[in-house]
Structure 1
């Protein structure tokens, strides 16, 4: 990332003036897998200081 910032500072026209960077840091991510018999599988991954923890929500 530092190399990118250095390049932008040395080449100011490289990025459009109205361009904005957003950074997203998820706290949880949920995955859902549908089933024809409606026995769907739902998993959630929760962020913690030690890494990601996985939990099954359904069934």
Structure 2
């Protein structure tokens, strides 16, 4: 990462002028699996002291 930042500083034309960096802090991650009868499966993963815990959401 440090090498990339140094390169961008040394070569300012390397990045397009309108380019924007977004940084996100994840509080949870949700996955959805579709079903032909619209009974979708929804799983949410949330951080826990031991890693991530998984919970099933109703539709």
Same structural fold, with TM-score higher than 0.5 when normalized by the shorter chain: yes
Q: Which residue is 1:22 aligned to? A: 22
Unaligned runs of 5+ in 2: none
Matched, 1:31 2:18: no
Alpha-carbon distance between aligned partners in 2 of 1:41 and 1:18, rounded to the nearest angstrom: 38
Runs of 4+ that moved beyond 3 A: 34-40
SS at match of 1:6: helix
Unpaired segments ≥5 residues, structure 1: none
What is the root-mean-square deviation of aligned Cα atoms in Å? 2.2
Give CA deviations for 1:7-53 in whole Å, capped at 9, x if unaligned: 00111111122221111222111122233455432211012454211
TM-score normalized by the length of structure 1: 0.69
